[in-house]
Amino acid sequence: MPELANRLKTVKVSASAAMTDKARELRDAGVKIVGLSSGEPDFPTPPHAIEAAHRAALAGDTKYPAQPGTVALRKAVQRKFKRENNLDYALDEILIANGGKQIIFNALFATCNPGDEVVIPAPGWITYADIVLLAEATPVAVPCPENNQFRLRPADLEATITPKTKWLILNFPNNPTGAACTREEMHAIADVMLKHPDVWILTDDIYEHLTYDGFEFCTIAEVEPRLKNRVVTVNGASKAYAMTGWRVGYCGGPKDLIAAMNNVHGQATGGICTVSQAAAVAVLDGPQDFLKERADIYRDRRDLVVKLLNQIPGITCHKPEGAFYVFPNIAGCIGKTTKGGRRLETDADFISALLEEQHVAAVPGGAYGMSPYFRISYATDTDSLKEGCRRIAIFCEGLR
Ligand code: PLP
């Protein structure tokens, strides 16, 4: 085969996607897998979104879309930012793309040059670092340790920023830890960023609606308006509205940057599916009360898995404030040998042995930049969660 581009040599297949594929393979071979690896809501897309998409298709809304997003959807996003985040964005400060993922891609491709550094809190969604590498810049991790509830300490952030820093990426509630950020903590992060006027800030707020026990979500451009002209506020329909397959992400940001991102976007895709945009208008403008009902269900599942995991020898599990993940610590299992004779040197060993011996799919912490941990997604039914934890307990009780 003729050679591939050098830039691809640094990019890995996403560990959670790899684990989901491996679990699917085993399932197809007849093995009864408990899948706890996929970060995808198990709820259905709201019917009013599907009906809006259907109506749009029948009405002939099936031609090339407006590249930055339909006016109708950008207006719905404008209303969402005002209503939920108290942020004012003009229509030319809003971009729609194929998921939050493509918004992040567009932002980094529009701005990064070789040698630029992008500061990413760790643990963090692995995609950030991979997009940074594809954009030929350098990801730099800033640790958010468990003893600080996986939150970002301003002093650590300050110590990580250099003259080469181009971006800070924020993601609270966080994938994979579920950690969230209080308004006070966000102020402290904003104070650091005020001292670095040449650094862009991308805040990935995709888990905004998934916080529990009254924890109040906040976003940096609203907390510190003086930063707004260099913040890209990213969100999307995937997680809140159970619309992962519709591929709708959106952002608000400064006009010139949005124009540059739209340029990247136009060459990559030329805009997003028209009927998905119609569906997104319907959910953003439609009833929002079911979000709270779903969040209550997620909270109950979180409480269940945290309780069950903390009963397992070798595992301790911090109780996070948001998202639909827990990130248990497995230091007590490392160095031991499984019933099947596998020695566990790393969290990757733990996860692959768990899949082989107890048929539970989860993702190793190392994939997110922190070990020895693993990520469980509790965006699945209670029976699967109970069964998954039961099998993890059998696995850990068998370690010697
Ligand atoms: N941001 C984070 C932190 C995520 O975990 C994910 C999906 O797993 C996304 C963004 C992607 O969302 P979308 O489906 O909108 O591309």
Residue 202, beta-bridge partner list: 169, 232
Ligand 1 atom 7 nearest Cα: 39
Distance 109 CA to ligand 1 centre (A): 17
Per-residue confidence (pLDDT) for residue 190, from 0 to 100: 98
Q: Where in the chain is the domain with CATH 3.40.640.10?
A: 47-285
Q: DSSP string of 182-223?
A: -HHHHHHHHHHHHT-TT-EEEEE-TTTT-B-TTPPP--HHHH
User: 257: part of which helix (H) or strand (E)?
Assistant: helix 255-268
Cα separations (Å) of 315 from 151, 307, 339, 349?
Answer: 20, 11, 17, 15
- pLDDT for residue 20: 76
Distance 129 CA to ligand 1 centre (A): 13
Ligand 1: list residues with CB < 6 Å.
39, 99-101, 125, 171, 175, 204, 206, 236, 238, 244, 249
With cut-offs at 50, 70 and 90, classify the pLDDT of residue 196: very high
Q: What is the mean pLDDT of the chain?
A: 96
Query: Of all protein residues, whose CA lies closest to atom 8 belonging to ligand 1?
Result: 39
Return the CATH number of the domain spanning residue range 47-285: 3.40.640.10
Are residues 243 and 82 in contact, defined by beta-carbon separation less than 8 angstroms?
no
- pLDDT attached to residue 280: 98
Burial class (CB in 10 A: 0-12, 13-18, 19+), 282: buried
pLDDT at 276: 98
Instruction: Lay out the sheet containing 249-252: strands in order across.
Output: 94-97, 249-252, 231-236, 200-204, 165-170, 117-122, 138-143
Ligand 1 centre to CA of 101 (Å) is: 6
Q: Which CATH architecture has domain 6-44+290-395?
A: Alpha-Beta Complex (3.90)
Residue range(s) occupied by CATH 3.90.1150.10 in the chain = 6-44+290-395
pTM of the model: 0.96
DSSP string of 358-382?
H-EE-EEGGGGT-SSBEEEE--S-H
Tell me the best of 14, 105, 125 to mutate to test the pocket of ligand 1, counting ligand atoms within 8 Å of each CB and taking the most.
125
ipTM value > 0.90 = yes
* pLDDT, tens digit, 9 for 90 and up, residues 292-319: 999 999 999 999 999 999 999 999 999 9
pLDDT reported for residue 200: 98
What pLDDT shows up at residue 134? Answer: 94
Of 101, 174, 269, 276, which is best to mutate to test ligand 1, by the most ligand atoms within 8 angstroms of its C-beta? 101
pLDDT band for 21, please (50, 70, 90 cuts). confident
